[in-house]
Amino acid sequence: MKGIFYLSGENTCLASFEVLNLLEAEEISRDVQILIAEFKRNCFDRLALTHEVSEYYTTCDLEELEEVLSEIPIRGSCCVRVVKIRRPDLNSLMIEKRLGAVLWKRGCKINLTNPDTHIRVYISKRCHVGYLIHKTDKKQFLERHPNKRPFSMPCVIPPKIGRAMVNITAGKYILDPMCGTGTFLIEAGLMGLDFVGVEAYDRIVRGCAENLKFFKLPVNVIRGDARNLPFKDEVFDGIVTDFPYKRSTRLFGENLVERAVEEIHRVLKPDGRAVLVINVDIDDLVNDYFEIEGKCYQRVHKSLERRFYICRKVKKL
């Protein structure tokens, strides 16, 4: 099936990779915050950085919309809603009324509250028309905000981003070798995936365990060193981790990043994916072990910009 994915503007780079990897999708075209793709898997309920999904009907110019609505197939009652994306020059309510009039003149039964056919029109650089099939529950991420957990620390990756990272791996058995408060473990567990976390400090291990218990998840967290992981080779099919930033990294020694990347490669299955977050560029290091499928950025504050390395293990050293 071909879908229109209305992506979160929070990080469209990560959002695109989440759709393409999780749904085994093939990109067809893009627009501002819009990804049109042919997808094989339907697990929309797992998506974090997609506002909504519509079954694709067509793409057209603004002046062609009325003609499209006069011909679009409709089953039962219907309504049309317009989403304008970075188009302050347009009045979405007026466009909806105009398109609704086209449907009414066709003899369609208009139902604004519970229609059988919900037509979505996304207006960006061009207009993308489809049938709404999924809306993401955004409230769940607010309910899991780090400040609402028993244990928290500064600069924790938000649940929405954490879930997207887990989804990008498309793995079923997830490792976080520097798990901190457990954001990635929590998101993996709530999606029904198997997971395990490793953390170097007793206090943080205990705090992570509290958070996992809070969400009624298995306490699969152990104390260990990301530079020497206690696992056999090629065990995990997905790895996500957020490296300690600047000053914290020095506590582990200068070789933390190098040794951890080497260990992540060792325990990851062939063709498995890892999503690594760090505050500095490590392209040369990552390229020694992985194929870099993508690199995304997120500005946290003036002095911190996260880099998200999306990596795939394609060779043995």
Residue 107 placed within a domain: yes
Answer yes or no: are the C-beta atoms of 228 and 202 closer than 8 Å.
no
Residue 317 within any structural domain of the chain: no
Domain boundary residue, one of 103, 135, 167: 135
Question: Which structural domain, as residue segments, surrounds residue 59?
Answer: 2-135
At 180-225, the pLDDT tens digits run: 999 999 999 999 999 999 999 999 999 999 999 999 999 999 999 9
Please say whether the beta carbons of 205 and 131 come within 8 A.
Answer: no
Least confident stretch, 3-12, 103-112, 243-252: 243-252
Nearest one of 207, 254, 199, 257 to 230, comparing CA atoms: 199
- Which alpha helices (DSSP H) does the chain contain, by range? 12-22, 65-71, 92-105, 139-143, 159-169, 183-190, 202-214, 247-250, 256-267, 283-289
Domain endpoint, select from 97, 113, 135: 135
Residue 21 CA neighbour count, 13 Å, CB half? 28
Looking up tokens 């996304």, which residue turns up?
122
The share of the chain scoring above pLDDT 90, in percent, equals 92
In a domain, 246, yes or no: yes
What pLDDT is attached to residue 317?
57
98 φ, ψ to 5°?
-65, -45
Q: Is the entire prediction scored with pTM above 0.85?
A: yes
9 plus 117 within the same structural domain: yes
- Shared domain check, 48 and 21: yes
Pairing mode of beta strands 34-38, 26-31: antiparallel
Helix 202-214 to helix 183-190 angle (10° resolution) is 30
The string of pLDDT tens digits covering residues 262-311 is 999 999 999 999 999 999 999 999 999 999 999 999 988 877 899 999 99
Of the candidates 135, 168, 195, which is a domain's last residue? 135
Q: How far apart are the first and last CA of the chain?
A: 39
Place of tokens 């498995």: 272
Instruction: Decide: 231 and 206 in contact? Cβ < 8 Å.
Output: no
Residue 2, pLDDT above cutoff 70: yes
The domain that holds 127 is classified in CATH as 3.30.2130.30
As a whole number of angstroms, the distance between CA 147 and CA 136 comes to 22
165 with 302, same domain? yes
Q: Collapse the DSSP code of 312 into the 3-class scheme (helix H, G, I; strand E, B; otherwise coil) and give the result.
A: strand
